[in-house]
Structure formats: structure tokens, C-alpha cells
Amino acid sequence: MTRLLLTVLLGWAVLTQAAAAQNGPLRIEITEGVIEPMPYAVPDFVPDTPAAADLSRELGRVIAADLSGTGLFREVPASAYISKIDNFDAPIQFADWKAVNAQALITGAVSVSGSRLTVRFRVWDVFSGAELGSGLQFSGTSEGWRRMAHKVADAVYSRITGEGGYFDSRVVFVSESGPKNDRKKRLAIMDYDGANVQYLTDSASIVLAPRFSPTGDRVLYTSFETGFPRIYVLDVGQVKRRVLETREGTMSFAPRFSPNGRTVVFSLEQGGNTDIYEMDIASGQQTRLTNAPSIETAPSYSPDGSQIVFESDRSGTQQLYIMPARGGEARRISFGQGRYGTPVWSPRGDMIAFTKQNQGRFHIGVMRTDGSEERLLTASFLDEGPTWAPNGRVIMFTRESKGAAGQATLYTVDITGRNLRPVRTPGGASDPSWSPLQN
């Protein structure tokens, strides 16, 4: 069977086509930030029932936005099409799709019965005329149609790149409004692409840095609602929250879940000194993990839960360190020029994303867990707070613009540094945390 395989690795993407005899080997190479995206067509899905007419168009638009948004694919516009797909099971006229230079073709059919929506789709390798993988069918409520489109796009992405997808995911973030010196902040959650925004708190008090649980059902965040920073855990489905108790007179912030979801690692400040602690969520039992007069904060677990990466200014400036999850000797991993903060372990376990400050500029970067292969992906007046897509290939972060009218915006960028783009949100947005793929 013909198989398109697009591998994205360390700035290189290689497209191979096993049975490309008629055209020679099909190949995309990404070097130094240059990539030729793979052209694909996603004609409107075929409505199997009259009620599906609108959704059959909308589904295709969301799928196209997902795929083209990666920067790895380019949609062939419908105006170029020579043939139509009006029967999902009829043979494809591959010559017509070759003629418009579509290398991949996504066909689908939609039926609506009551509130039930069913989507069938297939992915075709146009040049070999073979199906890529097998056709799939997803069913759900009409209300969840966008999720179904993301599921289709994830399947297409996965089959063509050989990587896991990330479109059927959500982002929890801080929604911002108002001037810089009186900014209103509230927790919000949305689909990864900015759709379906819902607010989780009001804006009566400052909220900071929400973090998803490993299953995406809970969120940790810091709120000033008592007048002092405290960590809260919020049940996303029920919008119920409770404070994680810490001693009076201390500040607690920068929380993250452990991979098993039972423990929180966070910063606790007392007497002006900030160290890292862990807390068992059920019992409230706290264990101190660092004990130094310097600032230790922004801890993040490795995916296997055995180690914690964090930032400390024990050397005199902010740098990144890794220590065992139970505390103990830490080894420094950042050695470049400037200051390093907000490290986040990738879901694949192979990289650390971070914020870097150097010579008045801020960068989002990635490095291997031993500190090697540091790569800066962005540069601006103020970039910070990276979070990983579920497949570990894309990073979302906060970019704040300069000056009195400065506003925070969410951006995404590939780990190769390509495809920097803003995420559309209502008003300002900061401190994103990307969920795992939904079930």
C-alpha cells in the first residue's frame, strides 16, 4: 500500500512516497526555516441527510484551518477544483485532483439524525490513487461538531506525519482586559484554536498561571482572592474549586500537577524566601523539596514523574536546574548567556521549553534535558510562559506588547521555530496551559 509519511524531526521533514513511480519520489525537505507545505484538498463533505447541509461545509472549514494552521499543509482552494465530490462512495477522479496539484485528498460524508451527527471520512494519496489508512466514522451530538472536525484533522495529520495529533484539545488561560495598571484577569478555557471560550472565574481578583491536570479535568491556579496569593484546584466540569491550604503568612504560587495527578509541586514563600514544596492533594501533607536562601520556583515534573525541572537564582541569576522528584541534589542545565526561567518538560520527555531573557529581549526556547541543543524559537519585547501541545511538536506562549497600550496575546510556534502565529481570543490573553488530547 502506498503510504505518505511526513516526519518532522529537528527541523527536518521528509516526505516519502513508496509508490511514486509515475512522478518520481515525492519529497519535502525543511531546512533553515523553509518548508514547502503539502498541498491538499478537502472538498465540502457530502450531506447524507438534508439537515447536514450546513455542517458538511463547516466541518471541512475547521479541518482545513487545523491542517493549514500547522504550516505543514497548504489547502488547494475550492475555486481550483475540476471535479466535485457528491457521492462519498463513488470512485475518485484522481486525474482531476492531480491536475490541481492536490497531493492529499480528504473526502467525507455527514448525516444528522435528531441531535446525532455522524461523520465518515477517507484520506487519499492522490498520486498513487490509494487510500491512506482506512475510512473512519465518528458519531456524537451536533453540538460537538467542531470536536468531530478536530478528530478528523487529527487522524489526517497523524496518518501523513506519523506523529500524534493535537487539534482535539483545549487551553486554559487568563483572559485579560483593562489598562496595564488595573488589569482585570479571569480564568477562561477554550478549544486549542480559540473557539468555544468559557469563563471559569470572575475578574474580582487577580488570577495567574492555570495548569491542567494530566487528564484535563482539573486546573490548578493562583488567585489573590484572600488578598494574598494562594493555590486553588478547580474541577473544570463542575466549576467547583477549593483552596490548597498553606500556612498563614506565606505565599503559595506556581503550582503544577504530578503526572499521576495526585501531587502538586509549587513555590512557597515565607520570610521573603521562596522554595519548592510538594503537596499531596488528598491529605494536604507538604514536603519541602529545596532549602536555599535563593529563589526557587516554576517547577515542572518529567512525564515519568521521577524528576523536576525548576528555576533558581542560586548562581546569581535565574538558571534552570533538574532535581529528583523527592528533592535532593540539583544539576544546572542552562549555561548560555542571559537568564532562564519557566521551564516546562515536554510530554515526550525529550526536551525542556523555557523563557530566556537576554540583552533586553525575551525568547521562548527549547533544549534537551541535559541542556544541549539549545534553540531559541522566538524573540520579542516580552515572550514568556511556554506550554506544550499534546504531541510535543508545538508550543503556545504569552507575548506582551510594549508600552502603555501593551496587551498580552497567545501565540503558537513549532519547536523548529517556524509557523509563529497568534491564537484568536476575545481581548487579551496570557498564561496558557495546553490540555492533553481529549478522549
Shortest CB 145 distance to other proteins, Å: 9
Strand, helix or coil at 151? helix
Closest to other proteins by CB, 71 or 432: 432
Residues in the chain: 439
**96 vs 269 by CB, closer to other proteins:** 269
Residues between 117 and 146 that touch other proteins (CB under 8 A): 120, 134-141, 143-144
**Ranges within 46-105 binding other proteins (CB under 8 A):** none
For the segment 220-239, give every residue that binds other proteins (CB under 8 A).
223-229, 234, 236-239
Which residue lies nearer to other proteins by CB, 70 or 286? 286
User: Of 268-327, which residues contact other proteins (CB under 8 A)?
Assistant: 269, 271-274, 295, 297-298, 311, 313, 318
CB of 141 to other proteins, least distance (A): 6
Nearer to other proteins, 31 or 134 (CB): 134
CA–CA distance, 402 with 418 (Å, rounded to integer): 23
Structural element, H or E, at residue 57 = helix 53-69
Q: Find cell 482535539 and name the residue.
A: 168
Name the minimum Å distance from CB 342 to other proteins.
Answer: 5
Specify whether the CB–CB gap between 311 and 256 falls below 8 A.
Answer: no
The residue type at 397: F
Task: With beta carbons less than 8 A apart as the criterion, state whether 42 and 152 touch.
Answer: no
Give min distance, CB of 252 to other proteins, in A: 10
Q: What are phi and psi of 422, to 5 degrees?
A: -75, 150
375 to 394, contacts with other proteins by CB under 8 A?
381-382, 384-385
Distances (CA, A) of 141 to 47, 111, 150, 341: 16, 11, 14, 43
- Interaction with other proteins in 144-203: which residues (CB under 8 A)? 144, 147-148, 179-183, 185, 189, 196, 198-202
Least separation, in Å, of the C-beta of 54 and other proteins?
A: 18
CB of 239 to other proteins, least distance (A): 5
- Residues 411 and 396: their CA atoms lie apart, in Å, by 6
Q: How far is the CB of 20 from other proteins (least distance, A)?
A: 25
Q: How far is the CB of 82 from other proteins (least distance, A)?
A: 26
Q: Which residues on adjacent β-strands are paired with residue 324?
A: 307
CA distance 207 to 205: 6
List 72, 149, 160, 254, residue binding other proteins (CB under 8 A): 254
| CB-nearer residue toward other proteins: 81 or 224 | 224
C-alpha cell at 430: 496570557
The nearest distance, CB 19 to other proteins, in angstroms, is 21
Output the CA–CA distances (angstroms, integers) from residue 246 to 5, 232, 253, 295, 325, in the order listed.
51, 11, 11, 18, 20
| Number of residues engaging other proteins in binding (CB under 8 A) | 77
Nearer to other proteins, 71 or 385 (CB): 385
Q: Which stretch binds other proteins (CB under 8 A): 1-9, 21-29, 245-253, 279-287?
A: 245-253
Residue with Cβ nearer other proteins (114 or 360): 360
Contact letters for other proteins, residues 341-380 (x by CB under 8 A): xx------------x-x--x--------------------
C-alpha cell of 178? 483593562
310 and 301 in contact (C-beta within 8 Å)? Answer: no
Q: Exposed e or buried b for every residue in 403-412, given b needs 16+ CB within 10 A?
A: eeeebbbbbb
Cα–Cα distance for residue pair 180/97, rounded to 1 Å: 52
